[in-house]
């Protein structure tokens, strides 16, 4: 997700108490983020009672396990930081940023592979050709999200996890080209051949939403977001560091948590509900990916939260004047 310079040597780095404290904060943000998501899965998909039930009169083992998950999300980072005292803030910054990059790569492959596969199925269905390839029974089943998601989407999602691990580019440039190609396809088919189907517009929206929401974390770390920098541009590197750290901690991270809590805090929330129900387009022959569109907000909030945690550590490192400052991609190109 970011372009880095070689990490500073241990001899150049001073692991002060404040540096260790900020490292703990950064990794606690990461730990609690994934603990929250895992507990959401246990609560709504596995029907566990929730961590809050551990403190009620009807607490059971499942509730205490969920509460313990949150406790471990704090204890784990503390143990890690204490055992790696000589690890630099910038090294942690790059590690957290790499986690966000992996999630973004995974999301890119999901929208690419699932988008192509689902659009192809929808095209064959609307033209009455699908039965020729898979038979009448499977054709009928592919018209149900309860069948198409586990048997078509799920294998492609697993494949995306593997591809994200073996590739290093984020693919946003290619996704932008795909959006243009999908739009061009609609223009040509509509005005030249007078042909248009619901799945064609669904594919554009599916890729277009992914392009903007998945690339936000990368744009953040490369300082590509619009910033009112009348004052910021004149700050010293030390002042910029503290401004970035404070902004990430008190502005960026709360925004991400608001999205996650409001969007996933209940089974009827705007992110959780469509994924639970495997919500699809109301068009009979549209794409069956509406539930994934809700998941875009989840990917956005998670990758941005991770990148804000990395940004916090980078800002503290800049304030301290630690060596090994990361260069932006545009600076390296120049």
334 residues of the chain, pLDDT tens digit each: 444 444 444 556 678 999 999 999 999 999 999 999 999 999 999 999 999 999 988 889 999 999 999 999 999 999 999 999 999 999 999 999 999 999 999 999 999 999 999 999 999 999 999 999 999 999 999 999 999 999 999 999 999 999 999 988 777 788 889 899 999 999 999 888 888 888 899 999 999 999 888 888 777 766 655 566 667 778 888 999 999 999 999 999 999 999 999 999 999 999 999 999 999 877 767 899 999 999 999 999 999 999 999 999 999 999 999 888 877 654 444 4
Domain membership of residue 19 (yes or no) is: yes
Domain membership of residue 1 (yes or no) is: no
The answer to whether the beta carbons of residues 170 and 1 sit under 8 Å apart is yes
Domain membership of residue 2 (yes or no) is: no
**pLDDT score, position 12:** 63
Domain membership of residue 5 (yes or no) is: no
**pLDDT score, position 228:** 62
Domain membership of residue 3 (yes or no) is: no
Residues in the chain: 334
What are the Cα distances from residue 291, in Å, to 80, 142, 217?
36, 16, 22
**pLDDT score, position 249:** 96
**pLDDT score, position 17:** 94
Domain membership of residue 313 (yes or no) is: yes
Domain membership of residue 85 (yes or no) is: yes
Domain membership of residue 290 (yes or no) is: yes
**pLDDT score, position 8:** 44
Question: Under 8 Å CB-to-CB from 164, ≥6 apart: which residues?
Answer: 102, 103, 105, 106, 108, 109
Nearest partner of 72 among 62, 64, 60, 84, judged by Cα = 64
**pLDDT score, position 70:** 98
Structurally, the chain folds into a number of domains equal to: 1
Residue span of the structural domain in which 136 resides: 10-333
């Amino acid at each position: 997700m970011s372009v880095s310079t070689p990490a500073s040597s241990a001899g150049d780095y001073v692991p002060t108490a404040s540096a260790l404290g900020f490292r703990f904060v950064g990794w606690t943000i990461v730990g609690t983020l994934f603990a929250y998501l895992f507990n959401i899965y246990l609560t709504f998909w596995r029907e566990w009672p929730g961590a809050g039930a551990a403190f009620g009169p009807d607490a059971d083992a499942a509730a205490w396990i969920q509460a313990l998950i949150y406790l471990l999300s704090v204890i784990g980072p503390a143990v890690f930081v204490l055992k790696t005292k000589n690890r630099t803030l910038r090294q942690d910054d790059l590690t957290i940023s790499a986690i966000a990059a992996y999630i973004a790569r995974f999301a890119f492959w999901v929208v690419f592979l699932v988008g192509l596969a689902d659009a192809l199925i929808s095209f064959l269905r609307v033209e009455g050709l699908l039965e020729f390839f898979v038979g009448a029974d499977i054709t009928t089943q592919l018209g149900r999200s309860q069948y198409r998601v586990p048997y078509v989407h799920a294998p492609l999602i697993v494949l995306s996890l593997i591809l994200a691990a073996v590739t290093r580019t984020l693919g946003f440039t290619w996704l932008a080209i795909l959006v243009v190609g999908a739009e061009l396809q609609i223009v040509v088919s509509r005005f030249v051949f007078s042909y248009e189907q619901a799945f064609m517009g669904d594919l554009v929206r599916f890729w277009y939403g992914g392009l903007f929401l998945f690339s936000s974390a990368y744009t953040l770390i490369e300082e590509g977001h619009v910033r009112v920098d009348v004052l910021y541009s004149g700050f010293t590197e030390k002042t910029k560091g503290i401004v970035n750290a404070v902004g990430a901690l008190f502005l960026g991270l709360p925004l991400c948590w608001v999205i996650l809590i409001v969007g996933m805090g209940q089974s009827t929330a705007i992110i959780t509900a469509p994924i639970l129900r495997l919500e699809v387009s109301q068009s009979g022959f549209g794409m069956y990916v509406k539930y994934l569109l809700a998941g875009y907000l989840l990917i956005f909030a998670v990758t941005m939260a991770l990148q804000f945690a990395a940004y916090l550590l980078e800002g503290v490192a800049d304030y301290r004047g630690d060596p090994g400052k990361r260069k932006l991609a545009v600076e390296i190109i120049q």
